[in-house]
Structure 1
Amino acid sequence: MTSKSDSSNKDISQWVAFLPKCEVTGSGEGERPVFIKLRHPKTDKCALFLVGNDGYKIYELLALKEKYRSWFIGDTVQRDGSLRITTSVDPLFLLLPYLIKAAENGMYMTLDQLVDDKQFPQCTRLLKCCEKCDISQVSDCKGSVEFTAYRYSEDKTITWLKAKVEQVATKLEEKSIHVTGGAQSATFVRSSKGNGASKEDYMRYAVGLVGDYLQVPLAQKLAKQLGIEEKVVSPKSSEPAAKKIKLSKDLPEATEDYSKYFTEKSSKTKPSKLSAQQKGLQKVDKSGMKSISSFFRKSTK
């Protein structure tokens, strides 16, 4: 699918995106997918999302960019060669930042009161997206079916997030996705037995994926509750110990005088043994003899 944006210039800006087929085959007016701008739940910055035909499903648009790439679209060349793909997002992730912010006053609030953002007016579309979600999984509720108020609950949210992490970890293990040393598709692996990933590795990677939609403090609490600590590898410890010791003994620091080092080194080396012929030459009387270099000098008149 290609999208166009209005421009005052003759050139029309376009970009290429891969969308779910079910979201572009709707019929009738108002049943087409809609691109909207919302706050990203982790960074709080503007991000592009897609609301599906039914108005309930929501997708995040991710851009894959390369320095030298363009698209040929019809008879035109689009300079922006980035490719946008969609990934489904649980609407509750987008609702969480509003719940957490409203929890500062400790009051119960209705959804339309919670999702009120003048900077991102299109956030009101989250109201319909959340209709089919069980908001009680992340909040305490009061009221009736016709009128319900909500207040953020951290305990419920952590429980809900734990279930999410376990689901993701299970799916990663089923697909034999490599989660050690970077993600790798199982397509390039002959056998999943060579994966070498433990249950903890899958859980750690799943926490990272879920954490991409959480504010940092909440993501840290989730990792702590799951007993997963971030592995920190020091660059200094990445080299084998034996090799480091050898380098420190045999070579000086880069700031030292290398010529001095090698002079000292050569002075400490033991002299090589002379052969019998070399010892005999040393005993010969060399008085009156000319050196070989004298034969190559210019003759003096």
Structure 2
Amino acid sequence: MSSNKYFFIVKDRVTDAAVTEDFLQIVDFRNPATGKPAKYMLREESIELFELNCFSENNRSWFINESVCSNGQIYLPSRIDPLFLVLPYIEKNCSIKSIPLEHVLIDDEFPHTVKLINFVSRGNQLTLIADEKNVGNIRAYRYNEEKVLNWLREKCVILEKALGKSVKSACSSNFIKEEKENSYKQNEMLSYAHGIISDYLSLELSNKLASELGVQEEKSHKRKSTVDVSIQQLKKIKKEESIETTPIKAVAPTKKVSAKSKALAKAASGTKGIASFFKK
């Protein structure tokens, strides 16, 4: 049995002779939406970047030729625009002044981030999200929010059209009689496209894009900002503290004594109780 094998489903065929460490690499980059580590696959020769989606279930393995792969996970690489990974660094470091890309894509927690320079330096890709300034052989970039929103809006429109085509083809193959069930609302597809693109954006930028598109993101799919999380944690702590404190017993209301009860109490005063006769 071998535990250092992984099962990939890729669109293009990769022969054993072509697979080398320089040809295919799996590295960690910072997730552009959450900032947490995420797995990506690189093909540096063809300058291709893939996001790795993993499907995993317990008690699963693979039979590969004459061997058994005990790791039953399935990795599905899907192409991703490298600008999504570069965008958070440009927004954070280049909002005030123009900075060369070599000084921007530096991350001590993710040392492979510098590899992204080769993926975004082709043509004028970076000019889609930033203003370029040339000084001799040095090219510096400054974040441009207007360009970013235009770039993201175009991606949403393209994705909306693709989703609309898939919905129409699915409806035509189902032989549904009612025309209302076959139709789809354009705004719903645009909102759905916005939700997919937002998986690669910060919460603030996702909200700005929604406003630019004129769509409203569903509350159930909204991600929480760090400020909202900290406020909820503070409320939870206060709630727990209030539960842990000793409850104060409420003072029982005094009963109103009737005139007859007062008379009996006065008559009994000075008399001894029956138990006193049995005491020594």
Query: Same fold judged by TM-score > 0.5?
Result: yes
1:74-153 equivalences in 2 (<5 Å): 74-103=65-94, 106-132=96-122, 134-144=125-135, 146-153=137-144
Give % identity: 26
1:122-201 equivalences in 2 (<5 Å): 122-132=112-122, 134-144=125-135, 146-176=137-167, 186=170, 189-191=173-175, 194-201=181-188
> How far apart are residue 37 of structure 1 and its match?
1.2
Look up the SS of the partner of 1:58 in the other structure: strand
Name the amino acid aligned to 1:135.
Answer: L
> How far apart are residue 25 of structure 1 and its match?
7.9
Which residue in 1 is equivalent to 2:4? Answer: 13
Please, what TM-score do these two structures have when normalized by structure 2?
A: 0.68
Please, what TM-score do these two structures have when normalized by structure 1?
A: 0.64
Q: Distance in 2 between matches of 1:26 and 1:108?
A: 43
Change (3 A) 1:206 1:145: farther
> How far apart are residue 31 of structure 1 and its match?
5.7
Deviations 1:179-224 (A, max 9, x none): xxxxxx9399525964432101110111011111111111111011
> How far apart are residue 149 of structure 1 and its match?
0.3
Contact map agreement 1:55 1:128 (CA 8 A) in 2: no
Ranges in structure 2 where 5+ consecutive residues have no aligned partner: 221-280
Change (3 A) 1:111 1:26: farther
> How far apart are residue 79 of structure 1 and its match?
3.6
Alignment length (residue pairs): 216
Name the amino acid aligned to 2:170.
Answer: A
> How far apart are residue 77 of structure 1 and its match?
3.6
> How far apart are residue 71 of structure 1 and its match?
1.7
Change (3 A) 1:51 1:226: same
> How far apart are residue 72 of structure 1 and its match?
2.1
> How far apart are residue 73 of structure 1 and its match?
2.8
Name the amino acid aligned to 1:196.
Answer: S
Look up the SS of the partner of 1:176 in the other structure: helix
Contact map agreement 1:24 1:32 (CA 8 A) in 2: no
Name the amino acid aligned to 1:204.
Answer: S
Name the amino acid aligned to 1:42.
Answer: A
Q: Distance in 2 between matches of 1:198 and 1:111?
A: 42
- For the aligned residue pairs, the C-alpha RMSD in angstroms reads 2.8
Contact map agreement 2:2 2:68 (CA 8 A) in 1: no
Name the amino acid aligned to 2:106.
Answer: D
Ranges in structure 1 where 5+ consecutive residues have no aligned partner: 1-9, 178-184, 234-301
Which residue in 2 is equivalent to 1:299? Answer: none
Deviations 1:65-86 (A, max 9, x none): 2344322234444343221101
Name the amino acid aligned to 1:56.
Answer: I
